Amino acid sequence: MAEKNIKIIVEYKGTAFAGWQIQAGQPTLQGAITEAVFKVTGQKINLIGAGRTDAGVHALGQVANFLIDHRLEPDRYAEAINFYLSDDIYIRESSEIALDFNARFKARYRRYRYLMAAQKSALYREYRWEHRRKLDFNRLQEAAQMVLGEHDFSPFCVVSSRKEDNNCFIEFSRWFQIGSLWVYEIRGNRFLHSMVRSLVGAMVNLADLEPDNNVLNLTLEQFNDIINFQTDKRVAFAAPAQGLYLVAVGY
């Protein structure tokens, strides 16, 4: 048998996991799927994910791949792996792809979505940020437009995770109001650690119409300066993880 490269598309609820990437002693998505593949095939694989989502973050269309030499048909891996996964993870499909395909490095863009709600819910609290303060939608939209283009997003990244190159190109950034939901959509070639949550946190902070006296609110001008790296200020407003979703990855 010849080695095959298997591509999978994964949906998951991230609440119970310490993120995508394997961590010793912690439940992770990469770890759970890797273990399930071992139970199916008896082989240890290197599972490569397109996005290393943080603890508590969800996914509708995470893409991953692994190399394996096994007799199972490529389109049967999804069903076989799902048998050994908890209900919080679901492999939507599996297929064979070229041997040089790498889910992380071949990706052209990632698309994320953030959900906020103006009221509490016993059912949906693990899937959105319940933010019951009045916001200026126009300010949110103005800030979202400032994000477009190529910028150094290191002020929106966890310091310990900054790279030598922290530039990202953002081609779509927009807020929507859908009923009682506030929805932020962003698409770019790459994202830094906690970048989307920090962007959302900063935008909500500057759009807050009921400011907290104990919290210093940003202005649109300050946000613009941070985006354009005209200040050494670092954003400290990270939105909660449960509202963030990796929606899709494009190749």
The residues annotated with a catalytic role in the active site are 54
Residues 28 and 17 sit within 8 Å (Cβ to Cβ): yes
Using CA atoms, how far residue 249 sits from 58, 62, 135, 156, 198, in Å, is: 14, 7, 30, 21, 21
Q: Taking the CB of residue 159, how many other CB atoms lie within 10 A of it? A: 9
Least Cα distance to 251 among 34, 31, 98 occurs for 98
Two tokens, residue 23: 């961590």
Question: If you ran DSSP here, which 8-state letter would residue 235 be given?
Answer: -
Using CA atoms, how far residue 101 sits from 7, 62, 75, 105, 161, in Å, is: 9, 15, 17, 8, 25
How many angstroms separate the CA atoms of 123 and 126, rounded? 8
How many angstroms separate the CA atoms of 15 and 126, rounded? 7
192: which residues sit within 8 A by CB, 6+ positions away? 153, 154, 156, 157, 158, 161, 162, 163, 166, 168
